[in-house]
Amino acid sequence: MPTYKAIAVAGDYGLDLVEVSPNANPPVCKIMDYGRYKYEQTKKKQEAKKKQSTFQVKEIKVRPKTGDHDLETKIGHIKKFIVKKDKVKVTVMFRGREITLTQRSRELLEKIAVETQDVAGVEQPPKLEGRTMVMILAPKN
């Protein structure tokens, strides 16, 4: 159908002529209410955004000389975050001469990884960044 006839037919119905596939030969057009179409598209985008799974990165800070009971408490917090599908960044902070205790803190982080291995996997292994050592745990699927 010629373009001018299609525009006239759309006008008779009080609708718009919308080009659906401009690259086709011949181009494909559709008679529809364009305002309603745009509204439905935004609604679909909002629904998709609502169903999208989001996660946060929670941070747990410990020191190289953190006690066993305190560490168990921190591991409890880590497990709680992991169950809620959040990633956890475990940070060991060094102050002063504690920087010489990097091996102790690596063992500490490995202990945390072993304690949480039933619910979490290590996404980033322990890595020294300046005066902090960082490990990232992610929930298992």
Residue at token pair 């992610």: 138
Are 66 and 135 found together in one domain?
Answer: yes
Length of the chain in terms of residues written = 141
Query: In sequence order, what are the residues at sequence separation of 6 or more whose Cβ sits closer than 8 angstroms to the Cβ of residue 32?
Result: 15, 16, 18
Domain count, the chain: 2
All residue ranges of the chain with pLDDT < 50 are none
Query: Could you tell me the CATH number of the domain that includes residue 11?
Result: 3.10.20.80
pLDDT given at position 132: 92
Positive or negative, the Cα torsion across 89, 131, 113, 136? Answer: positive
Q: Where do the H-state alpha helices sit in 14-138?
A: 34-51, 68-83, 102-115
- What is the structure's pLDDT at 1? 82
**In terms of Cα–Cα distance, which of 61, 8, 11 is closest to 33?**
11
Tokens of 35: 């305002």
Q: Which domain holds residue 121?
A: 57-139
Residues 45 and 66 in one domain: no
pLDDT computed for residue 101 by the predictor: 85
Q: Does residue 27 have a cis peptide bond before it, meaning omega lies within 30 degrees of 0?
A: no
DSSP 8-class letter at 80: H
pLDDT in tens, 101-124: 889 999 999 999 999 989 999 999
70 and 45 assigned to the same domain: no
| Helix or strand (DSSP H, E) at 134 | strand 132-139
Output the pTM of the full model.
0.61
Q: Is 90 exposed, middle or buried (0-12, 13-18, 19+ CB in 10 A)?
A: buried
